[in-house]
Amino acid sequence: MRFASLLLLCAAMFGSAIAPASATMRISEDRGGQIGQYLQTFASVRSSGERVVVDGNCLSACTLVLGLIPRSRICATPRARFGFHAAWMPDDDGRPITSPLGTQALWNIYPTDVRRWINRHGGLTRRMIYMQGDDLQGVVASCGGERVYHVRAEHRTHVRSSARHVRTRTARYSGGYSASDRH
């Protein structure tokens, strides 16, 4: 009898650990970087079936998430902020110059409603424009009742929602400026 009780207790304790965890990429303070790196990263996220939670700044090339990840798998918390500008590259002296080809690539990837918003706010120029708060309604779903909190330990973050426990690992982009986490 004791052995059976012990087995039941172990099954109850470890049952949730055995169940597959949902994978989630969390974007919190991503300043962007080279377009190609983001195309590759988001293509990988898209094919993996991961969800994406935007919980802070998603600037520059990071905004490609809006056109590369299916809407059903992306949501934004109240802290989410997307920053758009024209693509650029350094000239021979290292000064930034607008890249018409890169800017067109961004434009082609953005969904129609994002393009309309960008046009209403001055278009893609060297000046950063920010989409946040009420402007996100209809563009990105709200993350709803998800309570997000973080416990840092050895570069790992745990996010707990009302329904599941999700493990996180930090995602790094070489040569870019980012701080995105995968859960």
Tens-digit pLDDT profile for residues 3-51: 344 333 344 433 333 333 457 999 999 999 999 999 999 999 999 999 9
Residue 174 has pLDDT above 60, yes or no: no
More confident residue, 132 or 148: 132
Residue 94 lies in a domain: yes
Q: Are the CB atoms for 134 and 81 separated by under 8 Å?
A: no
Counting other chains too, the contacts that 177-181 makes at CB distance below 8 Å and 24 or more residues apart are 177/30, 177/31, 177/32, 177/33, 178/30, 178/31, 178/32, 178/33, 178/62, 179/28, 179/29, 179/30, 179/31, 180/25, 180/26, 180/27, 180/28, 180/30, 180/62, 181/25, 181/26, 181/27, 181/28, 181/157
Query: Which pLDDT value is given to residue 22?
Result: 58
Residue 10 lies in a domain: no
Task: Give the number of domains in the chain.
Answer: 1
CATH of the domain at 85: 3.90.226
Predicted TM-score (pTM) of this structure: 0.69
Least confident of 32-46, 51-65, 130-144, 167-181: 167-181
Residue 17 lies in a domain: no
Residue 13 lies in a domain: no
Q: Which two tokens stand for residue 87?
A: 């693509």
Residue 64's CB is within 10 A of a number of other CB atoms, namely 21
Confidence category of residue 82, pLDDT binned at 50, 70, 90: very high
Q: How far is it, in rounded angstroms, from Cα 177 to Cα 32?
A: 5
Confidence category of residue 156, pLDDT binned at 50, 70, 90: very low
Q: How far is it, in rounded angstroms, from Cα 134 to Cα 169?
A: 30
